[in-house]
Amino acid sequence: MFRPPLSRLCFTLCLLIGCAAPAYAFDLIQAFEAAQQHSAEYAAAQYGYQAEIEQKAQARAPLLPQISANALYQRQPASLSSNTVSHGWGIQASQVLFDRSLWAQYRQGRQAAQQAAAKLQRSGDDLLFQVAQAYCEVLQQQDTWAAIRQEKAAYFRQMQQARAAFEKGAATRVDIEEARAGYDAALAKEITTVSRLELARSTLDNLTGLDSRQIEPLRPGELPDWLQQKENYWQDLAERHNPQWIEQRWAWQQARSSREAAQGSRWPRLTLNGGYQDHHNTQSYGRADQHYRSKGGSVTLQLNLPLYDGGQTNSRIRETTARELQQHELLTATERQVRQAVRQAYLDAYGHQYRILAQQRLLESNRAKLESTRLGRQVGVRSLLEELQAQQAAADAEQQLAQARYGYVLAYMRLLKESGVLGEAARQQQLRRELFAGNPKARRASTPANPAIPATQHLPRQADGTTGVFSTSTDAPPPLANESAAGEDISSLQTDKQPSRPAAQRRRPTNRR
């Protein structure tokens, strides 16, 4: 079977990854700003806000003076006796002096504009939180991938040691297979992680329009203590700033104004009307013409008192009263929902704080156990299987610590969102100072740009139609690049079918670095 040279495969993979290498990094706040400019959903919400705030102007218009003008020209066809031509113009104005229904509708229009602002804020906060989720997911998967690559490299070194000991007669075949099982498990985890990383990057790309391979990692070290304030502090913030709560409060106010408008229909309406007109009329009788002109102004004070409308007003009052009660109950439900969401976010962040501490201690313990197991194996009191188990435990603890760190950041983001302050510029600048090591204009991304799973179509095909990326042979461990690397890309694997071949005689791919 034809096998392409490993150096050629590695060169192809390095070329593919190098062509997609990131230029400069962007942080979370820059991702927020880009998402607000890129998101079509948020743009639609902004246009919806602009449309809804016009209700205020439309409700105010009937309370302002209403002015109109008209012009007239009329010519009556000639008859046996006369011919008539009329023309003129006029202007009218009216001003509402008292109308409780119109004033209630005006208040309703102002409240609709306030509700629209809260609705827009809620849409913006949802977008920012989605960006934060995608951002943290990308970083978490990148860290997980890096940890798995280190784990895989460690298993590879153990495979080499086991094979060398086997060739010298100091180990059994079981030792080789145990090391290979750990390597294969790490490889399976790497495949899953790379797929998740690509999905997370795609999500962040769609949200922001930026290249997620240029993402800036969080500052190393301990995360800040964001929970110095008690839960009541966040509950008070939510009561004042949570957009969902504010939106429902304005919905209740609108329902109350609608009821007042319906009740105002029972009250008298007082209107001041004024006008001026100038009309000309010419009648022709044979050869004699008669001209008439009428001009002048008028002022009228009109009072309308509704007496009976078939029960329509009473029906509207009952309807609007029921809707007001409905909105009040929805307000109560929203208040409970928001308070519960704030409490859940606070407890979640609080729990992640202690989880980080626990995972740090667990990682230190597992690393110490791994070192002890390695020393014990060197003196013959520990087996290779025990070392593999210790290696797996240390790798799992490291990945769990990364998950706890990003979970804490995301829980704090949710707490800010539920409190209604995620979009505040001061909060965002505080996040930038605490999470990132600064905002340099030129910062290289610290993780591989693009996993090479999708790049298999660029590899030369073998005689059986396969690319040589994944092989089904399990007789021997795959020969990888140098052992000190943090792990190889999963698409550079190739299997050697000669298990007893000395390690020094095996071909190795050129060092990707």
Across the 513 residues of the chain, what is the mean pLDDT of every consecutive 10-residue run?
A: 41 43 72 92 94 92 92 75 80 92 92 94 94 94 89 84 81 81 88 93 93 88 89 94 95 93 91 89 72 84 89 91 95 95 94 92 90 83 78 85 92 94 91 74 38 33 34 35 40 38 37 35
| Cα–Cα dist 375/362, whole Å | 20
Residue 173 buriedness (CB in 10 A; 0-12 / 13-18 / 19+): exposed
Cα angle at 115 between 312 and 323, to 5 degrees? Answer: 30
| Domain parsing of the chain, residue ranges | 1-20+450-513, 21-64+99-268+305-449
Q: State residue 489's pLDDT score.
A: 47
- Rounded to an integer, what distance in angstroms lies between the CA atom of residue 50 and that of residue 57? 12
What letter would DSSP give residue 510? P
The whole-number pLDDT of residue 512 equals: 36
Dist CA 136 CA 16 (whole Å) = 26
pLDDT at 171: 73
Distance CA 328, CA 339 (A): 17
Q: What is the pLDDT of residue 45?
A: 94
- CA nearest neighbour of 233 among 346, 351, 354, 353: 346
pLDDT at residue number 320? 92
- For 15-38, letters b (16+ CB in 10 Å) and e give ebbeeeebeebbbbbbbbebbbeb
For residue 288, the model assigns a pLDDT of 67
The pLDDT of residue 15:
43
pLDDT of residue 457: 32
From the CB of residue 403, how many other CB atoms can be counted at a distance below 10 Å?
18
What burial letters (b/e) apply to 245-281, b meaning 16+ CB within 10 Å? bbbbbbbbbbbbbbbbbbbbbeeebebeebbebeebe
Q: Which helix (H) or strand (E) holds 300?
A: strand 288-304
Residue appearing with tokens 């959903």? 41
pLDDT, residue 132, reads 94
Biggest CA–CA distance in the chain, Å, is: 141
Q: Which CATH number fits domain 21-64+99-268+305-449: 1.20.1600.10, 3.90.226.10, 1.20.1260.10, 2.40.30.10?
A: 1.20.1600.10
Taking the CA atoms of residue 397, residue 398, residue 402 and residue 404 in that order, the dihedral angle to the nearest 10 degrees is 20
Measure the CA–CA gap between 212 and 129, rounded to whole angstroms: 16
- CA 181, CA 337: separation in Å to the nearest integer? 49
What kind and span of H or E run contains 189? helix 173-208
